[in-house]
Amino acid sequence: MKKLTLPISDEEIRDLKVGETVLLSGVMMTGRDAVHKWMNDAFIAKKKEPTADDLAVYEAIKPILDGGIIYHCGPVVSGVESGDYKFIAAGPTTSIREEPYQADVMKHFNLKGVIGKGGMAGKTLQGCQDTPAVYFHAIGGAASLIAQSVQEVLCVHKLDFGVPEAMWVIDVKDFPVVVTMDSHGGSQHNVVEGKSEEVLAGLMQK
């Protein structure tokens, strides 16, 4: 098992291969559907003019994401009204919903990793090779356990998106993940899909 501290270098990313288990420590940020669409529309595809708040948030998250990781997660958070934030549950969200945006977001912000569940498709896999970056699979159903690796909630951006969709900046220690898409074109999700199709084809012939 490897231990990596954020920010992560290109060399460390290229050294990772599909199937390796990793413990991540350092500062990362959550981001789901609303965040990826906001990043794309305001700063990548430039479909809309960013507001002053958008620009302030953009400048705040750039150094966090440069060499960093975005976590597909809609956490359960206590202390939202008081500002005394604490993660109660922090399980991964299904990642494929971000497929239209992920490769562009990785390139734009120099992301070195994405954490989620279920894997992603060809555009993101190519983005992992180009950036370079990797896809880390987190354990679904272990939301409370994963939350224990969150040492502190440092801040939150775009809370108006709602608690699950906001950008939570968190300091984690020994966050457990598995590499399932690497920077060399390897994808465990493609392997599983191929084997499943073989089994299905065999069943259909019976």
Would you say the C-alpha torsion 69, 71, 72, 78 has a positive or negative sign? negative
Distance separating alpha carbons of residues 104 and 124, to the nearest angstrom? 9
Q: Which residue stretches of the chain are H helix?
A: 10-14, 33-39, 52-65, 99-109, 122-130, 143-147, 188-205
Distance separating alpha carbons of residues 175 and 23, to the nearest angstrom? 5
- What six digits make up the tokens of 127? 């983005």
Q: What value, to the nearest 5°, has the Cα angle with vertex 120 and ends 114 and 124?
A: 70
Catalytic residues: 36
